[in-house]
Copies of this chain bind each other. A is one copy, B any other.
Amino acid sequence: MGWLADETGLEKCAANYVPLTPLSFLSRAAEVFPNREAVVYGDRRSTYRQYIDRVTRLASALAAMGVKPGDVVATLLPNVPAQVEAHFGVPACGAVLNTINIRLDANTVSYILDHGGAKVLLCDPQFIPLAVAAIEDMEGEPPIVIEVADDAAGVHDFGDYPEYEDILAAADPDFAWIMPQDEWESISLNYTSGTTGRPKGVVYHHRGAYLNAMGQVISWRITLYPKYLTIVPLFHCNGWCHTWMMPVVGGTVICCRDISAKAIFDAIADEGVTHFGGAPIVLNMIVNARAEDRRDMPHTVEVFTAGAPPAPVTLARIEQLGFNITHVYGLTEVYGPATECTWQTEWDPLEGDARAAVKARQGVAMPFMEPVRVWDDTHIPVPMDGQAQGEIVFRGNGVMKGYLKNPRATREAFKGGYFHSGDLAIQHPDSYLQIADRAKDIIISGGENVSSVEVEGILMCHPDVLLCAVVAKPDEKWGEVPCAFVELKDGHSVEADALIAFARERLAGFKCPKQVVFTELPKTSTGKIQKFELRTIAKTL
């Protein structure tokens, strides 16, 4: 190994070794960018100096409530400033941040509070009834509840619990942050959405959060002073770690409680938003915005999209509006996105479908990750031929520590020295990934694999279709057949037969949906279509 023959006196010491942590970014920003706006929410605007003061007070208040290093602090919050502040304030007292999905049912929230063992819960008044029901259901010690009122949004505190601003006002502004001694210490706990069984608690460390933040600045081609809009919920992979990233470049986080096309266009025009992340459904919302909700675009806005490949037709239309879309891919277990469809200059001349086709690929490893691989069942990489399918596996410093109190699941997920994503993909000859489907989303019809993504991409090209999802429907003859659930645009209509015929002109017969159901599609809080619900419905058709 690379040790010199004599390394006397070359050991780690206070001067040359500092555990990696996103807390360093905020300390530095307080000195380098003290007067720049750090967090904006309507009329509430904090500079970096004010931001660090609020973070310090939060850390102090939590410590004063008895939160010890390694304890868990949970939140049930939309994308309001308190949720942003918790990303630094909770680790600054040595605690571990557990942002809970606000769309979950009380029973699941109860499970998470018990399993994670949260000592404190920061809660928006809108979710106090959910929190109360969840706490009633708990087996263990309930957390101390702190209400985070949002008067400007008309969400006032119940008054039954201490209020966030009161607690901050009473806290010690000179509290010394408890910095990690080891960069492997835990910084956050994110429960997977868990479509089957109980959610699993994914643990992130300070090192990963730091490296992910540095790497995403590079991936996103961010220079100084971005304006970042919080569309990705901060309870989803810590908002893909973007809150940790902003202080590196003196960026401003623009909070957005409720996502709508109007809110997005207004934030771009009024606050100068330059960057945001979002599921394809957000792109769809923008493309289909009503005329009165649109605003002129003062500059190109960079958008990272993940969750599903953006439909070619959506991609083409949103780019005409002045958004540059980068497709990224990841999972909770890899801190959100870990691959990106890095742009190659030889693609510059591509237009229309050809451009959409390259942008629909999940791409290559981000800078902080090792090269991504696609493995067959025996852990051998499949050929990079654009044909052979296998499972996407990840390795690198942006992979979770593991699942909390579930070493069996952790071992299983890490078998062979890579994290197993459960997603099926091909690798093109240029090494770019393209997801065929989630393993469970593949439809096997007459022994042939049908990619639901491919069928959906075709249906999305139909002028009357707003959204669609294709799942397997049990079939006596073929085993499974594709069944399409379709949401039409406002005021549009089309017959099921016409849609099936549209597909048949563009797809092999066995890939065409055999049945079409017109309905509003069930979605998760992050805009992902909940295919498991549709599969349940398809079984009854």
Q: Within the assembled complex, what's the spacing in Å between the Cα atoms of A326 and B540? A: 66
Say yes or no: B70 contacts A15, CB within 8 Å. no
Q: What's the minimum C-beta distance from A54 to chain B, rounded to whole angstroms?
A: 20
Residues of B within 8 A of A365 (CB): 28, 31-32
Identify which of residues 403-460 in chain A touch chain B, using a CB-to-CB cut-off of 8 Å: 403-408, 410-411, 413-414, 417-419, 430-431
Identify which of residues 1-20 in chain A touch chain B, using a CB-to-CB cut-off of 8 Å: 1-18, 20
- A94 on interface, CB distance cutoff 8 Å: yes
Say yes or no: A404 contacts B6, CB within 8 Å. yes
Say yes or no: A411 contacts B9, CB within 8 Å. yes
Say yes or no: A417 contacts B13, CB within 8 Å. yes
Question: A295-333 toward B: CB 8 Å interface, digit per residue (1/0)?
Answer: 000000000000000000000000000000000000000
Say yes or no: A181 contacts B431, CB within 8 Å. no
Q: Which of A263-271, A390-398, A499-507, A509-517 contacts B (4 or more CB under 8 A)?
A: A390-398
Q: Within the assembled complex, what's the spacing in Å between the Cα atoms of A153 and B34? A: 51
- A364 on interface, CB distance cutoff 8 Å: yes
Q: Which of A131-139, A182-190, A467-475 contacts B (4 or more CB under 8 A)?
A: A182-190
- Among B203, B342, B399, contact of A4 (Cβ-Cβ < 8 Å): B203
Say yes or no: B9 contacts A248, CB within 8 Å. no
Knowing A2-B187, A224-B221 are in contact, say whether A410-B31 is a contact too (CB < 8 A). Answer: no
- Point out which of A94, A95, A218 has the most chain B C-beta atoms below 10 A from its C-beta: A218
- Minimal Cβ-Cβ distance residue in B for A32: B364
- A257 on interface, CB distance cutoff 8 Å: no
Q: Within the assembled complex, what's the spacing in Å between the Cα atoms of A401 and B182? A: 18
Residues of B within 8 A of A2 (CB): 69-70, 91, 94-96, 178, 180, 185-187, 206
- Minimal Cβ-Cβ distance residue in B for A27: B371
- Point out which of A211, A214, A413 has the most chain B C-beta atoms below 10 A from its C-beta: A214
Say yes or no: B367 contacts A248, CB within 8 Å. yes
- A215 on interface, CB distance cutoff 8 Å: yes
Knowing A9-B402, A69-B1, A70-B4 are in contact, say whether A343-B16 is a contact too (CB < 8 A). Answer: no
Residues of B within 8 A of A371 (CB): 27-28, 31
- Minimal Cβ-Cβ distance residue in B for A9: B407
- Minimal Cβ-Cβ distance residue in B for A346: B35
Residues of B within 8 A of A189 (CB): 4
Q: What's the minimum C-beta distance from A429 to chain B, rounded to whole angstroms?
A: 10
Say yes or no: A16 contacts B70, CB within 8 Å. no
- Point out which of A16, A18, A181, A370 has the most chain B C-beta atoms below 10 A from its C-beta: A16
Say yes or no: A186 contacts B32, CB within 8 Å. no
Residues of B within 8 A of A225 (CB): 345
Q: Within the assembled complex, what's the spacing in Å between the Cα atoms of A185 and B3? A: 5
- A24 on interface, CB distance cutoff 8 Å: yes
Say yes or no: B186 contacts A395, CB within 8 Å. no
Q: Within the assembled complex, what's the spacing in Å between the Cα atoms of A32 and B343? A: 10
- Among B5, B8, B367, contact of A117 (Cβ-Cβ < 8 Å): B5
- A241 on interface, CB distance cutoff 8 Å: no
- A164 on interface, CB distance cutoff 8 Å: no
Q: Within the assembled complex, what's the spacing in Å between the Cα atoms of A47 and B321? A: 36
- A521 on interface, CB distance cutoff 8 Å: no
- Point out which of A9, A11, A224, A225 has the most chain B C-beta atoms below 10 A from its C-beta: A9
- Point out which of A15, A180, A414 has the most chain B C-beta atoms below 10 A from its C-beta: A15
Residues of B within 8 A of A34 (CB): 430
- Among B15, B221, B370, B402, contact of A417 (Cβ-Cβ < 8 Å): B15
- A276 on interface, CB distance cutoff 8 Å: no
Q: Within the assembled complex, what's the spacing in Å between the Cα atoms of A5 and B31? A: 34
Residues of B within 8 A of A12 (CB): 184
Q: What's the minimum C-beta distance from A411 to chain B, rounded to whole angstroms?
A: 7
Knowing A2-B95, A10-B410 are in contact, say whether A18-B180 is a contact too (CB < 8 A). Answer: no
- A249 on interface, CB distance cutoff 8 Å: yes
Say yes or no: B24 contacts A370, CB within 8 Å. yes
Say yes or no: A70 contacts B9, CB within 8 Å. no
Say yes or no: A8 contacts B407, CB within 8 Å. yes
Say yes or no: B418 contacts A15, CB within 8 Å. yes
Say yes or no: B249 contacts A218, CB within 8 Å. yes
Knowing A28-B370, A224-B221, A414-B16 are in contact, say whether A186-B342 is a contact too (CB < 8 A). Answer: no
- Among B13, B206, B403, contact of A414 (Cβ-Cβ < 8 Å): B13
Identify which of residues 179-214 in chain A touch chain B, using a CB-to-CB cut-off of 8 Å: 180-182, 184-187, 189, 203, 206, 208, 211, 214
Knowing A1-B69, A248-B218 are in contact, say whether A417-B94 is a contact too (CB < 8 A). Answer: no
- Among B180, B221, B405, B419, contact of A8 (Cβ-Cβ < 8 Å): B405
CB pairs A–B below 8 angstroms (17 shown) = A1-B70, A2-B178, A3-B70, A3-B186, A5-B117, A6-B405, A9-B410, A10-B203, A15-B395, A15-B414, A16-B395, A31-B364, A31-B431, A211-B214, A214-B214, A221-B223, A248-B367
